[in-house]
Chains A and B, each alone.
Chain A
Amino acid sequence: MFSFQNMTQEIHSWLSSLMSETFVMLVEMTIVGILAIALFAFLGLVLVYMERKVAAVIQLRKGPNRVGPFGIFQTSADTLKLVLKEGFMPDNVDKFLYKLAPFVVMITAMLILAPIPFAKGVQIWDINIGVFYLTAISSISVIGILMAGWASNNKYSLLGAMRSGAQIVSYELSAGMAVLSIVVLTGSLNLGDIIASQEDGWWIFKGHIPAWIAFIIYIIAVTAETNRAPFDMAEAESELTGGFHTEYAGMRFALFFLAEYINIFIVCAIGAILFFGGWMPFHIGSWTAFNHVMDFIPSFMWFFGKTFFLIFLIMWFRWTFPRLRVDQLLNLEWKYLLPISIFNLLLMTLVAIKGWHF
């Protein structure tokens, strides 16, 4: 059967026959970096197009339908426009931080990509503390936003950055709790192990009600963490004219925009890995025949299918729910999500100790 593992092994052995170990590593790192950037660009185009189409259909519109068949080249045209735009910089900004901020946000998004298994045997870095690494790195991205808001020398930007900081710092807690409850069930932080533990069924089915509560809390918290509506306090187009990226134009703005969509992809990928088994096909206990049929669908299809389902869910939220006020937002986190997720974690620990899960 077709496997990515053989392919990477072959490339590695071919490179090893050509040069020394250090250079093999450098070349491989370059290849992986280029692939990651290519994936980013592709995801950016696809997700923006998807968002516009989903929004349009939900609002009884048609969405982009002029550039190419069904408007599929609309986002490419937009990107071209952004690239050709002047990199405008207002007076009296902190030039160094202003230029640095989009890169901090972007590099953070790229770093989070490292431990995610895209298919069976396709993982950039099989790090032992996978989940913890993800939470650690994702806490840096708020600094990029704070930096952008500060350096723009604009009240709206600063307010947007402050809101975004408060929001991300608080929602990280309940997202972390939801992630922990799956880690408690698996007993490992390694993403590969977490996926392997779901061979006979995904955690959302095996983990009873606590897993469902954890999933709901996770999806709410990550919607807030990626600063998307109904939690888009950081951008708040209606009151802050764009929040932290008000003063950005051209490619620098495009980097923020791209990072937002990449972050959506990443949090949905993590959600798919933790609750829906990542690239693991849909298996039911001991139904061997059924499981074999499911195995014929390639693993990367499973992974991207689940991830895009979750992305669609988050887009569905965005185009359905009314926005929250900033105090309601903090109330939701500190009065509802956090206590519930703490009790849910305790419940999950009980389930794990007693072995009540399947």
Chain B
Amino acid sequence: MDASTILFYTIAAYILVTGVLAVTTRKIFRSAIWLLFSLIGIAALYFWMDLPFIAAVQIVVYVGGIVVLIIFSIFLTQKSGDQMPKPILGRTLPSALASFFGFVFTINLIWHHGFIENKGILFDPTVDSIGMQLLNTGEGGYILPFEVVSMLLLAAMVGCIVIAMKVKKEETI
């Protein structure tokens, strides 16, 4: 077992532990912080795989964006500092079953198919090639999904402006 493998198992254990803590803690803000650590762990895994661009995107989108939004919405809710009540059995049981079956399913897949050994570099993770692929209109290009996502974001932004916009009331004398 070389240092790289040890590092992988350390990161994996870190992600799992923080992930479990995120769902078991009874304080909602702490839950968000554990989620943050879990997501940073995933970014670390990308760095371990020598994919710095994907790792940085993971940090920008999930850590800098999503978690900050979650924290903001927690700040704006009432009683956010109190302990949450214990989850009722009717919710715990189905979710435990769901995660158990998901786990079994994954183990089953791995058991039957195994991993393909990575022989040399299979893909080119540089920023140049990612950018080219993203805006490529030819074979294997991602221009259509890219544009669809940008349309979605534009619609979301317009929606936000409509919600936030104050309608000027007619002046009544």
Q: A interface vs B, CB < 8 Å?
A: 22, 25, 94, 96-97, 100, 127-129, 132-133, 135-137, 139-140, 142-143, 146-147, 150, 153, 158, 161-162, 165, 169, 172, 189
Contact = CB atoms under 8 A, between A and B. Distances in A.
Contacts of A137: 59
Nearest to A176: B60
Given A165-B68, A165-B72, A128 B30 contact: no
Contact of B59 (A128, A136, A150): A136
A142 B56 contact: no
Interface of B: 2-3, 27, 29-30, 33, 36, 40, 52-53, 56-57, 59-60, 63-65, 67-68, 71-72, 75, 81, 126-127
Given A142-B68, A143-B68, A133 B52 contact: yes
A139 B63 contact: yes
Given A97-B30, A133-B56, A139-B63, A158 B75 contact: yes
Binding site secondary structure of chain A? helix
Contact of B60 (A96, A135, A161, A189): A135
A22 B3 CA distance: 7
A97 B27 CA distance: 11
B33 A128 contact: no
A104 to B, nearest CB: 9
Contacts of A129: 52-53, 56, 127
A129 B46 CA distance: 14
A70 B53 CA distance: 47
Nearest to A21: B3
Contacts of A143: 33, 36, 63, 67-68, 71
B126 A128 contact: yes
Contacts of B33: 97, 100, 143, 147
Contacts of B126: 128
A143 B30 CA distance: 12
A97 B34 CA distance: 11
Nearest to B76: A162
A343 to B, nearest CB: 18
11 contacts: A94-B27, A128-B52, A128-B127, A135-B60, A139-B59, A140-B59, A140-B63, A143-B67, A146-B71, A158-B75, A161-B75
Select the residue from A22, A100, A133, A162 with max chain B CB neighbours within 10 A. A133
A24 B158 CA distance: 55
A135 B52 CA distance: 13
B30 A94 contact: yes
A168 to B, nearest CB: 9
Contact of A132 (B36, B53, B67): B53
Nearest to B74: A150
Contacts of A158: 75
Contacts of B3: 22, 25
Nearest to A22: B3
A41 B75 CA distance: 34
Nearest to B40: A140
B60 A139 contact: yes
A276 to B, nearest CB: 24
Given A128-B53, A133-B52, 15 more contacts: A22-B3, A94-B30, A97-B30, A127-B52, A132-B53, A132-B56, A136-B57, A139-B63, A139-B65, A140-B64, A143-B68, A143-B71, A146-B68, A146-B75, A165-B68
A198 B67 CA distance: 38
Given A136-B60, A158-B75, A165-B68, A153 B29 contact: no
A169 B68 contact: yes
A153 B27 CA distance: 14
A22 B71 CA distance: 39
Contacts of B53: 128-129, 132
